[in-house]
Every structure is written in C-alpha cells, then in structure tokens.
Amino acid sequence: MLNLWLKRMHLKRYNWINVLKSLAIVLMVFSNSAAYFFSSEVNVFFRIISSLAAPLFIFIAGANLIFSNEAHFKKFLIRGGYLLVTAACIDVLIWRIVPFATFDVLYLISFGIIICGILRFGKSFDLAFGIIFILTSFLLQSNYRFELEEFGLFEKDLFSSISIRSNFKRAFIDGWFPILPWIGFMFLGRWAISIENALDKKVRVFSLIFFVSTFCLLTQSSLNPMRNNYIEIFYPVNGLFVLMSLAFLVSAISVTSYFSERTFFKLESKYILGRKSLAVYILHCFFIATFAETFPIREELGFFLFCILQFATFYAFIWLIELVYLKRIISNFPSPIKIIFGLNN
C-alpha cells in the first residue's frame, strides 16, 4: 500500500513540488539580488516575503526524501556527498571564497540528507526531530555571532584566520544556514509530505489565516538587522518567524497539492524552473557574483531589470538543455558531473 502511494506521489511530484521549487527560486532571486541594489532601508513587507525562500527550499528538500525513505543509507550518503561537492565548487569557482567556512544553503541540505538518512523512524519521529532541532537552536542563540566574515581564496594569512572550532560553530550555530535550526525544517518537510492526504480544506483555511496573522505580527515587530547587506530576517531565526514560515509551508503544500489534481494545473515540467532547480541555483550564483556589483542601473529600477534578466536567462537555459542534440551531449557526460551540476533528470 505504501509503495502504491509513493508511486502516485512521485507522479504528482513534477506538478506541485516543482511548482513550489519554482516559487522558491523566484523569492530567492529577489532576496539575493536586493543585497546589491538597495542603499537605503528595504520595505518591511518585501523583507518578510523574501525571507520565505530559504525555508521553502529546505522544507521541499526534506519532502523529497520521502521518495527515498526505503533506500539503503548508502544512497543518502552518496546524494549528500555529491551536493557537498556542489556547494564547495560554488564557493571556490564562483564566489572565490574558502569552502566549508560560511555554510550556505547547499551545505545545510547536504548535511540534512545524510542526517535524515540516519534518522528514519517514521513520521511521528520526523515531527519530533523537527521540533527538537528548532527548539535547541533557541537555547544556543546566546552563542550566535552576527558578524560573518568570508575568507577569499588568496588572502594573506588565510590559514591563521580560520580554525576548525570556528568553522564547526558556523556549521551548527551561526553560519549562513546552520544545522540548528534549519535541519528541523527538513524533518518537518518529510513529515508534512507523509500526511499530505490529511491536508484538507479546514487545514488550508486555518494555515492561511495563521500565516496572514503571524505575517501581520511580524510587520509590527522589531525585525533583525540585515546581515552583510542581505535582507532576510532570519539572522538569527526567532519563534515568530518559525511559526509564520511553517504556516506558509503547510499552506503552500496543501494549496498546490489541491490544484495539482485539477486539469488546469497540469503544467509541463520543462516549463517549470523547479525541474532543474540545482542547475538554476548555480546559474543564479554565477549571475550574482559576475554582474550584480557592476550592473549599470541601481536602486529599484536596476533591481527589477536585473531580476528579469535572470529569469530570462534561466528559461533560455532550460529551453537549450531541452533541445534534442544538447540532451544527447549531456547524456554522455559522466554521471558525477551531471549530478554535481544539476543536469541529471
């Protein structure tokens, strides 16, 4: 019975999970690009909405693991290992910084895949682990260091500036996306997808009302300052943000899952950014690192033009790799290369 349910869910995945990934990409482009274009204080509503990209990505990464739940741990280890290589390649080749030092979102997801592969005890335990990891982070926030220094590859006295202890602390407590609390969102994502059938109309209405309520409360509260000019409000994560994010995530899953059953929602996967989310993320990082600081138009107009150029580039890229002869060329790449750069099917 479980296998039949997983097969059905796997077929639906290319509709609504990839749609959610696409939404996360749109929000990510806005939030990451804003750091390079706005010289003054950013609108509160925009900061809060942009902050939903990361929890959505991480939540979906956990949700995807339900399809591999019966697999051998080796599969989780290999999958997490490949993503770790991707994260390190982005740091070294695109950002030109030392890897395994500031821990961006791909590091978190790679660690999460491996830890979720170890802790597979059923949906009740996923819910418990998710809550425990998030609550533990609140207990450790007195150790949170807001300033986050990135080390260039060719800096003088580089090795004397980096310590294993500080890197370990960033990985768990105060990097860009530390294991605590963010891995909790992965466990909650796997839990939520396992009860997807129970997310009925009442749950949709309640979660939407709860999301709007917590969103309004956040707009009236004192938000965390921007970190290294990045506008997200979760440096560090607080309780109200967690509640708003979870309400948004449950709403997003229940609404998109509901519409995926309707004929008008049958989108072709090749037109959805989420189908190649890893490759699009790498392209986005390259675009930001290469063009953001030198883009000739600044402030609001420059920001919107820069975002539009990115979306146009993403769709052109997806269209190109869908061409038959390019598909054939890519199919001949070694499997590790396709996996690391998000070119596998």
Domain range summary for the chain, segments of one domain joined by +:
2-340
Mean of pLDDT over the chain = 88
- Long-range contacts of 48-53, Cβ-Cβ distance < 8 Å, separation of 24 or more: 48/215, 48/218, 48/219, 48/223, 48/233, 48/244, 50/231, 50/232, 51/231, 51/232, 51/233, 51/234, 51/241, 52/27, 52/245, 52/248, 53/24, 53/25, 53/27, 53/28
- Long-range contacts of 79-84, Cβ-Cβ distance < 8 Å, separation of 24 or more: 79/113, 80/110, 80/111, 80/112, 80/113, 80/114, 80/117, 81/110, 81/114, 82/336, 82/339, 82/340, 83/109, 83/110, 83/113, 84/110, 84/111
What's the predicted TM-score (pTM) here?
0.92
Q: What is the pLDDT of residues 208-221, one digit of tens each?
A: 999 999 999 999 99
pLDDT > 60? residue 251: yes
Q: What pLDDT score was predicted for residue 166?
A: 87
Mean predicted confidence (pLDDT) in 220-244: 94
pLDDT > 80? residue 160: no
Mean predicted confidence (pLDDT) in 220-241: 94
Q: What is the pLDDT of residues 80-124, one digit of tens each?
A: 999 999 999 999 999 999 999 999 999 999 999 999 999 999 999
Give the separation between CA 214 and CA 247, rounded to whole angstroms: 9
Nearest Cα neighbor of 177 from 43, 51, 340 is 51
pLDDT > 50? residue 2: no
Give the separation between CA 253 and CA 24, rounded to whole angstroms: 13
Q: Which residues pair with 227 in a beta bridge?
A: 230
pLDDT > 60? residue 7: no
pLDDT > 70? residue 40: yes
Residue 18: pLDDT band with limits 50, 70, 90? confident
Classify residue 6 by burial, with Cβ atoms within 10 Å: 0-12, 13-18, 19+: middle
Eight-state DSSP code of residue 137 = H
Residue 32: pLDDT band with limits 50, 70, 90? very high
pLDDT > 90? residue 150: no
